Amino acid sequence: MSAPLLVMSLLLLSAATPSDEPRELEAALQAVAEGDFESSLSLAEAGLRNSRDDASSAKLHLVRGEVYAALRKYAQMEAAFAQALESDPDVRLDPERVQPTVVTLFESLRGRLRGELAVEVEACPGTQLRLDGQVLGQAPWRGQVPIGTHTLEVGPGLTTLQVTVRPHRTEQVRVVLSPTALDGTHSRELTFSAQVRAALGLAPSSGVGMEAGARLAGTYVYGELNATAGRRFGASARLGAQGPELVGPVTLFLSVDGYALGGPALLGAGLSAGASLPLTPRFALFAELSGRWLPSSDSYERTHLLGVSGLRFTPSP
């Protein structure tokens, strides 16, 4: 290729490749540094008219906010900063260039702004959702969350994705799971847990007993087998229903219980109601009230009310 043709090709390539940011942005920042606020505002507004992407628009709005802060026009400053966050909810001021008080005001505004997130998981309703590691609820879910980019976990263990929430807008997320992931949900419908429990006799007062056992749970039903050591040795079987995360992360449950005690042998039944709170993905703390009915004997009352608390471990949550 001849030299003139090579030069012309380079010129055409340069003209066809737009710069990452409007040229007015650098000029507006320079004008701010020189204290020429009027020129900086004019350049920023011209850049906004020419801007073709949200990231550049957000930076230009930040310049406007900086100028209004310098002029002590705080209402206009906040409006400009809000427009910057609407364009790019992850945009940030440069703390090495901007006064700390202005950075603090900007971050305070970010913390106050909310957007709406709506999540639907196709063919798998009731799937647990977490946002940035915190329990969000079960799909389908809709609610207000802080603006910015968040990590949405669909699962447990199904998929993870990044979602960006903008102020005063609704971010719709529709998750379509692969056949492999859907097959995995069926294998996770039942979870096995081991637990230890301490039971305190309330009425009549009968001291403390210890229980240990196993639990097999689905989403809304569960069964338990526990061994008891206290005034008497025995065993219990329980069949119950639960409402996952009915109050924030708290799960409420209710069960019908059967009991067998030794020395002499006694059979009985009862009802239990309580709540559990996850401490980590594998450990949960629970507490309950348990009413028990047993045939009367010379050494044992017919009815008992117990307070129970314990710790549950799930190997594969």
Q: Which CATH architecture has domain 114-185?
A: Sandwich (2.60)
Query: Distance (Å, rounded) from C-alpha 128 to C-alpha 171?
Result: 18
Amino acid 5: pLDDT? 37
Amino acid 300: pLDDT? 66
Three-state DSSP string of the chain: CCHHHHHHHHHHHHHHCCCCCCHHHHHHHHHHHCCCHHHHHHHHHHHHHHCCCHHHHHHHHHHHHHHHHHCCCHHHHHHHHHHHHHHCCCCCCCCCCCCHHHHHHHHHHHHHCEEEEEEEECCCCCCEEEECCEEEEECCEEEEEECEEEEEEEECCCEEEEEEECCCCEEEEEECCCHHHHHHHHHCCCEEEEEEEEEEEEECCCCEEEEEEEEEECCCEEEEEEEEECCCCEEEEEEEEEEEEEECCEEEEEEEEEEEECCCCEEEEEEEEEEEEECCCCEEEEEEEEEEECCCECCECCEEEEEEEEEEECCCC
**CATH of the domain spanning 191-313, picked from 2.40.160.20, 2.40.50.140, 3.40.109.10, 2.70.70.10:** 2.40.160.20
- Residue spans in the chain of domains classed CATH 2.60.40.1120: 114-185
Amino acid 182: pLDDT? 52
Q: Would you state the structure tokens that stand for residue 298, as one six-digit string?
A: 């010379």
pLDDT digit string, tens, across residues 111-133:
999 999 999 988 777 788 899 98
Which one is predicted more confidently, 51 or 202?
A: 51
Percent of the chain residues past pLDDT 90, beyond the cut: 54
Amino acid 241: pLDDT? 93
Is residue 187 very low, low, confident or very high in pLDDT (cuts 50, 70, 90)? very low
pLDDT digit string, tens, across residues 150-185:
999 987 677 899 999 999 999 999 998 766 555 555
275, 309, 280, 238 alpha-carbon torsion, rounded to 10° = -60
pLDDT digit string, tens, across residues 265-311:
788 899 999 999 988 878 999 999 998 887 766 666 778 888 899 99
Global pTM? Answer: 0.57
- Residue spans in the chain of domains classed CATH 1.25.40: 23-112
Amino acid 301: pLDDT? 73
Is residue 45 very low, low, confident or very high in pLDDT (cuts 50, 70, 90)? very high
Q: Hey, what CATH class is 23-112 in? A: mainly alpha
Instruction: Please provide the average confidence, as pLDDT, over all residues in the chain.
Output: 84
Is 275 in contact with 252 (CB distance < 8 Å)? yes
Mean pLDDT is lowest, of 44-48, 227-231, 287-291, 295-299, for: 295-299
Is residue 189 very low, low, confident or very high in pLDDT (cuts 50, 70, 90)? low
Query: Distance (Å, rounded) from C-alpha 243 to C-alpha 275?
Result: 9
Q: Would you state the structure tokens that stand for residue 80, as one six-digit string?
A: 């400009």
- Residue spans in the chain of domains classed CATH 2.40.160.20: 191-313
Is 254 in contact with 263 (CB distance < 8 Å)? no
